[in-house]
Structure 1
């Protein structure tokens, strides 16, 4: 273990630069190792990282971290990142310690791009000068050996001290970092880092950062279990509606969380083919399954066998509506997907919002206003019943005899439960944006106003920034003005927000 700031020799790996060495001795050690003169060596972890960094053509004399994204984009990336929901934990565990010890706390994504940083103001200014700001990339391939990039490369907590950094510009710093793995996929999704002047990092910081990363993973695991149960409860009717045909419920990342029959399913399925536009996947055992997108997640189903008799009562139908955003409205009925035109989508929206049922007169008013005509509505209903079935769309009154799941309902539930970030991420855009039906307009406005109010009253700068760059908030002057007020003067996102607010004000 390190004693009084001295780093012990690793077996067969040589002597590391240590905080107790004078600055000129540390610099001489760096030059000796890099120039391959004398008998000075560095730790194996560091030497292997240097080899990777030099192979990536990093220049120790001139390299600075590149910007992979505009700093204004990094907050939106954080809002959509798996680590977003554990940021309160990271702040409570690390920020006060970092501020007192004159350090900076940094969170990166899996590529080493800085999504967030916070710490003592006196240290943030010199951190700016070496590019340790949101949007900059600290992978080994981008800036050479450093704790953030190296922990992502080796998948374990590391400390990089002073001249163990390959690039001279950061020799005045020491940093400790630990990777964070997504319990959903098992992949590294980012890194937690504490960086400070090279004489101020205590050996216990490495254990602190490692423990905090484990706490973050545990909290993500708990949140995942809760989300799985919600997804399972809401979408189990889709599985039951297959009526004996093998099928499974799949999360958006490809994990199977329920299947019929039980016990015949792999842990995961590869959904990359779906992202490429395919409508089916092949399981490891060779079975080919159709994939139907639900309001959240997917339904796998095997091709139904013709002429198969059943002696059990068929369960209620399952209906999933995907009506948010600019794409074509889509309905998934009992595992089969159908594209809709605008009018049937409007009718289904109204019926989903009124599960108790609607008379022809009331439905005509909700769709057409005072000029609504019952005869027109009856014709539309007749055509819709031919598409989804007379046992799904009942009459007298008009109602849906099915378990209904909607993407706009997912956003409404998240808002009702206070899960503002989840609501914003689930909202792909306005509800049926081309619709002028009074009922749809009202539901659309209610959803957008509710989401906007929740975000602007949240006092969460990351949420406000995510909203300001979202489809719903990019033209919202008040949101951009609020963002300007919330961001500190040195935050590069503030200038972008000020520019956008000025353009909106001038329009």
Structure 2
């Protein structure tokens, strides 16, 4: 804590020292003891705003008739129960009141022990009153909103003498998406309740709220991304309602995390115009046509028991299993993946982002730096793959195309994400083939890696064939072998 005086341990002794400093500074007297810089600057701002040390009560920003509606609409409303439990339980609930303000310093919630609340009422520390520095001078809530940093203010560090019998600690809360202030969280109480840990407790509560807001933002980003990934064509990007880039194609000229002004005509950094299309939950940005360059063509072979491969502009490259897994996951997430997310999908909680970065570097060296780009990791080529073709065939109901492409996705892979995709594709394949009841389709599926050892598929194929069908004996033999292995 910034101090320009030796801080006594006893709160009452500290208050007496602060009152001497307060009187001397405001009288213009020379004094060895000086207020902390954060307090001195706040006093200067408050006096410049016309706040007098003998000022009366704070202004009423709005009355009880409006309070409920305003509180319901405030972004901190859902976290009040959590803050109540954290702050009031954390202080024993006896000497402190918990206060939550809006960004203007108006008190929206005040809760605590009835005795302390009655004391607060006597000095108009009440819901609906305005505690901005410009309204009531130096106080923890108003000062933290001006400085944007946590602050603890004790006794005569308040400019207005009415509050010299109070101590308070507050910290700002910010929107993790825009960085804008949402309000302040404060603990206030009588002089005797001062303790250095109060500021740490308030800061911890504020960070907890910001973390919850951040997780909700990430979850919302992921829903928005999944719902709109198909829009990420050349030169396109998905933006949050506040203009933060959530996902982008390489040619868009913006990267995830970058913030874009969404008011008026938008231009990229090089001056090129771009279009913004409103979407449910955000925006779609489209770069101008001049930015779009020729993309490489990437073809992936990921299904079946052969060696996986990638063909770039006609040049074929055999892939290691790990590189095939990475390219498979990137092809399924065209908006891109961070190193942390890719490591989690590949290895679960044991995943190491550093290992992923090394493998991506090797892939880019092998296939070309314009095939896979970074920030986030994503395929920047026009991609086609047997995996995507199979998914499209299943979606379209084209049974012939389904059978032509039927195969297990990277059958040797132990990656949880790859296994989940493989199992989902296999279930869809079985449902389609078994539901069709077509002997030819059943026989062809029974001769793929996906259906070769499937008892139900083999039995259904056998039962759908005539007794003298040429493939029936082969099916009977394979069934007998599988049943003997089970025994």
Per the alignment, residue 248 of structure 2 pairs with 259
Using a 3 Å threshold, how does the CA distance of structure 1 residues 144 and 309 change in structure 2: closer, same or farther? closer
> Does residue 299 of the first structure (1) align with residue 284 of the second (2)?
yes
Report how far residue 251 of structure 1 moved: 1.0
Deviates more, 1:23-32 or 1:41-50: 23-32
Per the alignment, residue 198 of structure 2 pairs with 205
Report how far residue 22 of structure 1 moved: 8.2
CA separation in 2, counterparts of 1:101 and 1:202?
A: 14
CA separation in 1, counterparts of 2:197 and 2:67?
A: 30
Tell me the alpha carbon deviations over residues 95-119 of structure 1, each in whole angstroms, 9 at most, x when there is no partner.
Answer: 2345633211011122212221211
Gaps of 5+ in 1: 2-8, 313-507
Q: Flag the structure with more relative contact order, 1 or 2, with Cα contacts below 8 A and sequence separation at least 6.
A: 1
Q: Secondary structure at the match of 2:192?
A: coil
Report how far residue 77 of structure 1 moved: 3.5
Report how far residue 180 of structure 1 moved: 1.8
CA separation in 2, counterparts of 1:69 and 1:286?
A: 46
CA separation in 1, counterparts of 2:271 and 2:63?
A: 44
Using a 3 Å threshold, how does the CA distance of structure 1 residues 96 and 46 change in structure 2: closer, same or farther? same
CA separation in 2, counterparts of 1:44 and 1:271?
A: 36
Using a 3 Å threshold, how does the CA distance of structure 1 residues 20 and 268 change in structure 2: closer, same or farther? same
> Segments of 4+ in structure 1 off by > 6 A?
22-25, 308-312
Within a 5 Å distance, the mapping from 1:74-153 to structure 2 comes to 74-98=67-91, 100-153=93-146
> RMSD between aligned alpha carbons?
3.2
Contact 2:173-2:206 within 8 A present in 1 as well: yes
Contact 1:74-1:114 within 8 A present in 2 as well: no
Contact 1:50-1:145 within 8 A present in 2 as well: yes
Q: Secondary structure at the match of 1:199?
A: helix
Within a 5 Å distance, the mapping from 1:393-412 to structure 2 comes to none
Contact 2:171-2:185 within 8 A present in 1 as well: yes
Report how far residue 146 of structure 1 moved: 0.6
Q: Tell me the number of residue pairs that the alignment of Structure 1 and Structure 2 aligns.
A: 294
CA separation in 1, counterparts of 2:43 and 2:274?
A: 47
CA separation in 1, counterparts of 2:28 and 2:167?
A: 23
Of 32, 35, 38 in structure 1, the residue corresponding to residue 27 of structure 2 is: 35
Using a 3 Å threshold, how does the CA distance of structure 1 residues 69 and 253 change in structure 2: closer, same or farther? farther
Within a 5 Å distance, the mapping from 1:147-296 to structure 2 comes to 147-237=140-230, 239-240=231-232, 244-261=233-250, 264-266=253-255, 267-271=257-261, 273=263, 278=264, 280-296=265-281
Tell me the alpha carbon deviations over residues 193-230 of structure 1, each in whole angstroms, 9 at most, x when there is no partner.
Answer: 00001121222111111122122222221111111111
Contact 1:86-1:220 within 8 A present in 2 as well: no
Structure showing greater Rg = 2
Gaps of 5+ in 2: 298-487
Q: Secondary structure at the match of 1:209?
A: helix
Q: Secondary structure at the match of 2:76?
A: helix
Using the size of structure 1 for normalisation, the TM-score is 0.52
Using a 3 Å threshold, how does the CA distance of structure 1 residues 174 and 222 change in structure 2: closer, same or farther? same
Using a 3 Å threshold, how does the CA distance of structure 1 residues 125 and 304 change in structure 2: closer, same or farther? same
CA separation in 2, counterparts of 1:23 and 1:201?
A: 10
Using a 3 Å threshold, how does the CA distance of structure 1 residues 44 and 284 change in structure 2: closer, same or farther? same
Contact 1:245-1:304 within 8 A present in 2 as well: no
CA separation in 2, counterparts of 1:157 and 1:213?
A: 10
Using a 3 Å threshold, how does the CA distance of structure 1 residues 179 and 311 change in structure 2: closer, same or farther? closer
Q: Secondary structure at the match of 1:115?
A: strand
CA separation in 2, counterparts of 1:94 and 1:232?
A: 36
> Does residue 56 of the first structure (1) align with residue 41 of the second (2)?
no
Contact 2:97-2:117 within 8 A present in 1 as well: yes
